[in-house]
């Protein structure tokens, strides 16, 4: 069975329309129930992703192969602060690449961990710090579901007590007080390595930049990323009425060695 | 010599401040001249990235290891339409991952090719179409400089004449008339695979969406991505006065199989 | 009784917090009921605007004098397409000033009419076209409530059949097909007079600009206006999560005389 | 001669295209020189605004009647911080209307003063504080040029020493330290009156909001206003590449009476 076929136990995205999209685990003998009727998983198993399937009420769904973004959106639905758009920018601005060794904190439900792990494959590694054990368990399960466990080391520790790794390529933070971690991040980074931090408020961002300046980081930059969705239909094209006006500020910098 | 040391023949980024940053190739016996004096490359070779170096006039530069983003900005300076922020979003929204097989057109100077190639490592592949031979040569050199040639197949052909690959994971377009390629893209994609297109104008975007609807793509979405830079200094924090107000619209969709 | 005192029959804004603000008509003997208890109007009458009043349940409300913006938001709640921010820009970009003679279409519920009428006082005039009689009645009542009736002439006609006024200073449109009115607007305008049009979609905007070019308008410009609200609290300052991402495009131009 | 005719001594806007627009004072016997040849003012005097005129080199210009916005842009070119878009919002959000009595500080070159004075006509008044005498002179000339002097009282005083007026409808600030003026503003305002302040930095904004809360202002809101310009041409429609990403934050509030 090729990788583009729906297997028993695999994930799928049932797509009715943009607002009615369901991330499911396909299990033989079971079915998925919606307001538009139910779908028997045995009708899907063995078919190619991208196929259409009809519910018991005749409604047509597309069976999609979930993307990392789909998964990230699913697992961060409740705790979502840092959005896919912000993560996408972090990947490029902090130069997360195959082979990179990354320190992350806090892990949360593992949404960013999953993306980092996928990017550093096959010979890089993510060291992720999370002080709340219950979150670490959730994150571990999420990373495992994406089959990325061998690229992640979960650490049930507070990064406020220091970073144990050395010569890492990037430190990526989604914490309430990132400025307190700046000295540890600086110590852990290789020369020219990347500091990246996400903060919802401007006060957090200011404190973080002040701390970075003190540690001698260069190329310090703070940005915000706005993504605006459009309705594109001939004769009715326009941006959507409501948009996400703010998620957080992203701050980046590069480590300089002291002689 | 470890990978974080500046070697003869390697690339480096000489950083004075945000506006004076120079992407250079380090060559023994040569030097780099700026308004702030010159820097002898032999003073850099063998040192760690992240070190500081003084120019002949005593000005201090940081010697940084270039990121993919640095390289992309360097090579797209003259022809730049699609920006790093847009590329970053494409990577995530089109689920470009290790192992992905990607069709790209047009290659241009290879800025996006470099990023795609890095992302699909080590077992994926980028098939990039470019009808203008002189651009293909530039792109080939750029990809080689980043040591990514083994992940890219350069095709001196117009994608308007069809896509030769099958069952690809994504088709990524930066073309003047992307809507003409939609049927070829649809044919080349595996079920649930991604179509992604960048267009500066709204008319291109509308035509592309109309063509996508005709081919039965689902999850079609158009977004624009705005990145706003901040000046963060205690007591003087504010967004920068000038910003890039527009680069282009990004349109995405997923391939549905017809029975 | 000075104009800053609440009179029987006058309007007031009861303010509890940003999300719980009530636009009311004060009538002796009556009261206003909220989830936080009721407020007797006789407790307010005769007091200065800006006073505080307690509800029967002890909740404190501020009694504010409504602004034009408050009134506009109240009356356009159901049909709201053009927002105060857009109206504010129209006032300045179309040079609406005391003494201006303005043609408006369509009237709708009169939200923009009220603002135009207030701006052209005391010796200007607004001629407003509305084909739907039921809207014209609503608009008439709203303009009267703001005591601006003597500055407005209501016309139960379609502006598609032509503009009866001549040498007007501005034509302001909020219509589904503004491009059809461009020739009539051009004819009605004095030399150097202003055309202003609000449209939700880009296709309407393009057609309008094409029609304007044909009629020889100069200084044609299209803008969109985004207003982003902030939460400003020490240590928690950030833009609000949700924002209005789009209301419409505003297009302006100036009439040139043909010899 | 009607008001839409160019008179000797009046102002005009010579329009070649969007980027080449000249604000001039028409004087009999003189002429205006551009790279596209010169224009004799005697060829313009007596003609209607909106006419076309040819330069000595045959280039066609439109002769427009300047708007308040044109004048504001002209006089604030050198010191411009607060833009027309921000002023437009202040007019509506601070309910500046015919009859309003307004306190303004600082006057600067009088750009905002001109707009305020025009809005409060015919029976309102603007009291404008400016400690720098040389600016006050410039402002006085600018207000006079717009024939609005009888609606403005110029005060060569620092507003930091207090506001002399009472029961004013609004206090509008464009100062480096607006938070120091909040108590004076509060004292000068009538109940339900408006405080409005423009500040480039977020720290100024935070301090101002803190001071407003202390003084008991309600309906406190901070916004930023972004205006994005479009290139609208059939087949080439798109936002302009560069935009003004930031001018400043606007903060508003309403005065509550203490018993």
- For the stretch A167-216, pLDDT in tens is 999 999 999 999 999 999 999 999 999 999 999 999 999 999 999 999 99
pLDDT, tens digit, 9 for 90 and up, residues B134-176: 999 999 999 999 999 999 999 999 999 999 999 999 999 999 9
Give partners of C (≥3 CB pairs < 8 A): A, D
Instruction: Give the span between the Cα atoms of A39 and A20, in whole angstroms.
Output: 14
Question: Quick one: which of A91, A53, D239, A149 has its CA closest to B93?
Answer: A91
Q: How far is B104 from chain A (nearest CA, A)?
A: 19
Reading the block at residue B98, the tokens are: 């290790």
**Quick check: C112 and C173 in contact, CB under 8 A?**
no
In this predicted structure, the answer to whether residue D258 has a pLDDT above a threshold of 90 is no
Report how far Cα D133 is from the mean position of its chain's Cα atoms.
19
- % of chain D at pLDDT higher than 90: 93
User: For residues B202 and B185, what is the distance between their CA atoms, to the nearest angstrom?
Assistant: 21
For residue D4, what pLDDT is reported? 92
Q: Say if residues B205 and A232 touch (Cβ distance below 8 Å).
A: yes
Q: Of D4, D98, D115, which has the smallest distance from its Cβ to C98's Cβ?
A: D98
Nearest to A239 among C236, C241, C245 (CB): C245
Taking an 8 Å cut-off on Cβ atoms, the answer to whether B237 and D201 are in contact is: yes
CB atoms closer than 10 angstroms to residue A30: 13
Q: What is the distance between the alpha carbons of residues D248 and B241, in angstroms, rounded to a whole number?
A: 9
Residue C246 is nearest to which of A238, A246, A248, comparing CB atoms? A238
Q: What is the pLDDT of residues B8-25, one digit of tens each?
A: 999 999 999 988 999 999
> Do the chains contact at A256 and B223, CB–CB below 8 Å?
no
List CB contacts (< 8 A) between A245 and chain C: 228-229, 239-243, 245
Q: Which residues of D touch B (CB under 8 A)?
A: 200-203, 228-229, 234-248
Entry pTM: 0.95
Quickly state the pLDDT bin for A27 (edges 50, 70, 90): very high
Nearest to B98 among A18, A118, A202 (CB): A118
Query: Under an 8 A CB cutoff, do B226 and A228 touch?
Result: yes
Q: What is the pLDDT of residue A137?
A: 96
Instruction: Report the gap between the CA of B32 and the closest CA in chain A (Å).
Output: 20
- D48 interaction partners in chain C (CB closer than 8 Å): 190-192, 257
Query: Alpha helix (H) ranges present in C94-161?
Result: 111-120, 133-145
Please name the residue that has the structure tokens 């902030």.
Answer: C230
Percent of chain B at pLDDT > 70 equals 97
Higher pLDDT, A114 or D1: A114
Distance from CA of D136 to the nearest CA of C (A): 24
Average pLDDT on C17-46 reads 95
CA distances from B115 to B90, B96, C198, D238 (A): 10, 10, 41, 26
Is there a contact between C190 and D49 if contact means CB atoms under 8 Å apart?
yes
Which of C50, C95, C122 minimises the CB distance to D257? C50
Distance from CA of A109 to the nearest CA of C (A): 21
**What's the gap in Å between the CA of B128 and the closest CA on chain A?**
21
| Angle at alpha carbon of residue C258, lines to C253 and D4, rounded to 5° | 70
Distance CA D157, CA D127 (A): 11
Residues in B closer than 8 angstroms to D240, CB to CB, are 245-246
Peptide bond into D106 cis (omega under 30): yes
Q: Which tokens in the block code for residue A243?
A: 């948009």
Contact flag D221-C64 (C-beta cutoff 8 Å): no
Residue D52: its chain C contacts at CB < 8 A? Answer: 256-257, 259
pLDDT in tens, D1-34: 457 999 999 999 999 998 899 999 999 999 999 9
Both tokens of D218, joined, read 């309600």
Looking at chain A, which subunits does it touch, using at least 3 CB pairs closer than 8 Å as the criterion?
A: B, C
pLDDT at D66 over 70: yes
- Rounded Cα gap, residues B176 and B106, in angstroms: 9
What are the pLDDT digits (tens) for C96-126? 999 999 999 999 999 999 999 999 999 999 9
Which of D167, D194, D218, D237 to mutate to probe the C interface, most C CBs <10 Å? D218
C50 and D254 within 8 Å at the Cβ level: the answer is yes
CA distance C135 to chain A (A): 24
Q: Which residue has tokens 């709340």? A: A132
Q: Residues A123, A124, A130, CA angle at the centre, nearest 5°?
A: 140
Question: How close A254 gets to chain B, by Cα (Å)?
Answer: 8
Please judge whether A235 and C200 are an interchain contact, meaning their C-beta atoms are less than 8 angstroms apart. no
Tens digits of per-residue pLDDT, D154-183?
Answer: 999 999 999 999 999 999 999 999 999 999
SS3 D143: helix
Label residue B77 by pLDDT band (50, 70, 90). Answer: low
User: What is the arrangement of strands in the sheet containing C11-17, beginning at the earlier edge strand?
Assistant: C20-25, C11-17, C60-64, C52-54
Q: Which residues of B touch A206 (CB under 8 A)?
A: 232, 234, 237
Q: Looking at the partner chain, which of C65, C206, C234 has a beta carbon nearest the beta carbon of D234?
A: C206
DSSP string, B112-124: HHHHHHHHHTTT-
Q: Given phi > 0 = left and psi -120 to 50 = alpha, else beta, which region is A108?
A: left
**Sequence-distant (≥ 6) Cβ neighbours of residue A100 within 8 angstroms:** A119, A120, A124, A169, A170
Q: Which of B50, B52, B191 sits opposite A50 (nearest CB)?
A: B191
From chain A, the residues in CB contact with B84 under 8 A are: 92-93
Residue contact B50–A98, C-beta within 8 A: no
| Closest partner CB to A238 (pick from C202, C242, C244) | C202
Helices (H), A40-160: 68-75, 84-93, 111-120, 133-145
- The whole-angstrom distance between B19's CA and the closest CA on chain D is 18
Whether the per-residue pLDDT at C1 is higher than 50: the answer is: no
Is C203 within 8 Å of A236 when comparing Cβ atoms? yes
Q: Which of D125, D128, D108, D129 is CA-nearest to residue D117?
A: D125
Interface contact A237-C201, CB threshold 8 A: yes
């Amino acid at each position: 069975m090729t990788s583009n076929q729906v297997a028993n136990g695999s994930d799928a995205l049932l797509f009715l329309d943009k607002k009615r999209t369901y991330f499911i685990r396909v299990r033989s003998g079971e079915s998925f129930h919606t307001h538009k009727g139910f779908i028997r998983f045995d009708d899907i198993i063995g078919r190619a992703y991208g196929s259409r399937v009809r519910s018991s009420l005749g409604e047509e769904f597309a069976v999609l192969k979930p993307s990392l973004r789909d998964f990230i959106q699913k697992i961060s639905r409740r705790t979502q602060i840092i959005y896919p758009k912000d993560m996408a920018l972090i990947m490029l601005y902090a130069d997360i690449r195959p082979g990179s060794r990354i320190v992350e904190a806090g892990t949360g439900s593992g949404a960013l961990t999953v993306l980092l792990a996928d990017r550093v494959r096959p010979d890089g590694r993510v060291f992720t710090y999370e002080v709340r054990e219950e979150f670490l368990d959730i994150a571990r399960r999420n990373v495992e579901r994406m089959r990325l466990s061998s690229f992640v080391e979960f650490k049930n520790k507070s990064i406020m007590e220091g970073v144990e790794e050395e010569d890492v390529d990037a430190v990526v933070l989604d914490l309430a007080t990132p400025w307190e971690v700046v000295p540890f991040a600086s110590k852990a980074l290789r020369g020219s390595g990347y500091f990246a931090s996400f903060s919802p408020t401007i006060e957090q961002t200011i404190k973080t930049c002040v701390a970075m300046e003190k540690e001698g980081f260069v190329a310090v930059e703070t940005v915000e990323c706005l993504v605006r969705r459009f309705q594109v239909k001939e004769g009715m094209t326009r941006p959507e009425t409501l948009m996400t006006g703010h998620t957080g500020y992203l701050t980046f910098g590069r480590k300089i060695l002291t002689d």
